[in-house]
Structure formats: structure tokens, C-alpha cells
Structure 1
């Protein structure tokens, strides 16, 4: 986030002082994507991901637990697939020496690496939540959505 701020400020200052620093827009985009992907697992573990609680609220006991296990299993599978293909993309970009088409010509595996790391951490977080739910040790998610939406 600090790097993103630095790139945006550098871009603003360079335009105001009539000089151009190539690549600031591209690097700001890379850093924004990195911040987003690296924050996903932390958001999940804090219980701040958006949840559709309409069906869960109507269920109790074993049915609710079964739905939680199913949802966490599906999310773990999807997050693992996303992580696999993100790592594969970064690896292939490195192997093929793929570079950005912008004027900075950044090797694309560098910004893609932050996405790959973020998706791997997210997959681990989902598997952890699934294991905790299966063992009966997962903390219940409190429904304080109104407090977080203000």
C-alpha cells in the first residue's frame, strides 16, 4: 500500500512539474493487485468476507454444519485451483521471458508473483477453515454486518 501511494504521488507530482516518469501507472496497478490478493486471506480469517447468511440463518444443527462444510470445501477447491494456475502463470511468464507491453517493459513474473503468493495463502486459509470446521473448532461468525457497513 505504501508503494502504491508512492507511485500515485510520483505520477501526480511529475505531471504537475511537467516531467514524465515512465511506468508509474503500470506499477501502481501491479501494487494495487498485490495489495488486494495479499489481503484476501487475512480478511477471511477475520470473518470479514461477504457471506450470504439468509440460508444459514434458517438452518440449525447438522444441516447448518453440512452447508458450512460444503461451502468451505468448494471454496478450498476453487482457491486451490486459482493458486495453482496463478503460480503456473508466473512460472510460465518467467520461463518465456514475458514482459509488459507498457514503456517500462517489466518482466511480468514479478507482479504476477504477488498474485501467486496471495492466492496460495488464501488457499491455505480456506483449507485451515475447513479443517477447523471438520474438527468442530471453528469460531462462529457473528452477524454484525450492520456495524461493518456504516
Structure 2
């Protein structure tokens, strides 16, 4: 995991794991001073998490639109090829973009039996759980991005009937070339959604860890299940 070192000067694992851990340690020692310095960053991150939730909601609306379109196509005897694949891509987008927003709202299922024993144990178990979750999510995000890059290199295409216009595929490649044809969906395009959501979740977990250490308060307070 050192493929960024020629560009950023440090191995990739340092950027992904060591530097966030150092920030967490600084938050543990600096406490309120760190919290005051980080508040503008936290406000910006909160806005990004909400934006991710909005994008997830738009994907859910897209699924609804696809269901309605499938119903109309069935009633009128019109073919709608690839509709199931499009719905699957939208479901992936709704799931992954909602992860960070759901985490900040306490919508993920958390088993809090041991967290309710006493405040001291609650705090440090929460910190340990956030650290393990942040490391795990960072690994997942790293290899999600790697899988996306590999799919683009191999020009991997869907095995279904879904297609995208050539100009849209070019736009995703940032080439902005014209084109009037349609091609089978490159797998890396829906994988971009997975990668973006996984990156956002990893950032969110490191952020919650740092906030917990800096403010000395539990940041996830509205657990879906106690």
C-alpha cells in the first residue's frame, strides 16, 4: 500500500492510518483546545454528511421512478431493458451515500450493553469501537477504490442489458467527447458510488473518534437500538 509515495512523499498507509491516529492522540491530550480549533472543520464535515444523506435520498427517489417506469412499460407492452440493473445501481448509491449520515444520526444498530455500565467504561469502549471501525472502514475504502481503478483499466462491462450513452461515459472519464451511441455500462461507474460512500464513511468514523476524544462526550447519542 505504498503506491502514492512518489506523489505525496509518504507511504499510503501513513496517510490512511498513522496521520489520523496521530490526530486522535492529539485530540485526547489537547482536549478542549483541539475542539475549538476543529469546530470550523466539523461544521464543514457535518454539511458533507448531510449532503451525502440528500444524495442517498435522491437515489431512493430514482428507485421509485424506475419502479413506476417498469409498471408503465408493463401496462403498455413496452420493453424497458436493464431496469433491474439500474435499480441495483441506485440501491447501491442509496446504501453507501447514507452510511456516514446514518452514523452521525445514530441510525446504525449498536449493542450498548457494556456502554451503560459506567461513564468511564462507556467512554473508552466507545473510543475503542470507533477506532476499530475507522481502521476497518479505511481498509474497505482503500480496496473499493483499488477495485474501481482495476475495473476501469480492464474496461469491465455489465453482464446485463443496461446501457449508457457514450457522451455520459466520456463525461465520467472527464474527456467530454461527443457521441450519439449507447454502450454497455462500464462496471467502474457504479463502483464509483461505492468508493465515494466508503470514503465518506471512513472519514466520518475518524471524525467521530477525534470528536469523542476532544470533547470528552459521546458523539453517537441516538442509537437505533439499546
| TM-score in terms of structure 2 length | 0.60
Alpha carbons of 1:138 and 1:45: their partners in 2 closer, same or farther (altered >3 Å)? farther
Maintained 8 Å contact 2:106/2:222: no
Corresponding residue of 2:150: 92
**Deviation of the 1:48 alpha carbon:** 1.9
Corresponding residue of 1:46: 105
**Deviation of the 1:139 alpha carbon:** 4.4
The 10-residue stretch of structure 1 (34-43 or 133-142) with the greater mean CA deviation from structure 2: 133-142
2:101 pairs with 1:22: no
Structure 1 unmatched runs, 5+ = none
Larger CA Rg, structure 1 vs 2: 2
Corresponding residue of 1:72: 130
The 10-residue stretch of structure 1 (75-84 or 130-139) with the greater mean CA deviation from structure 2: 130-139
**Deviation of the 1:60 alpha carbon:** 2.5
In the TM superposition, structure 1's runs of 4+ consecutive aligned residues that sit over 3 Å from their partners are 137-146
Maintained 8 Å contact 1:129/1:138: no
What is the alpha-carbon distance in structure 2 between the residues aligned to residue 26 and residue 143 of structure 1?
Answer: 34
Maintained 8 Å contact 1:76/1:126: yes
Corresponding residue of 1:120: 199
Maintained 8 Å contact 2:107/2:222: no
**Deviation of the 1:113 alpha carbon:** 0.6
**Deviation of the 1:138 alpha carbon:** 4.2
Alpha carbons of 1:115 and 1:138: their partners in 2 closer, same or farther (altered >3 Å)? farther
DSSP-derived class of the 1:107 partner? coil
**Deviation of the 1:136 alpha carbon:** 2.5
Structure 2 unmatched runs, 5+ = 1-59, 163-183
What is the alpha-carbon distance in structure 1 between the residues aligned to residue 187 and residue 160 of structure 2?
Answer: 11
What is the alpha-carbon distance in structure 2 between the residues aligned to residue 78 and residue 68 of structure 1?
Answer: 15
| TM-score in terms of structure 1 length | 0.89
Corresponding residue of 1:9: 68
Computed over aligned residues only, the root mean square deviation of the Cα atoms, in angstroms, reads 1.7
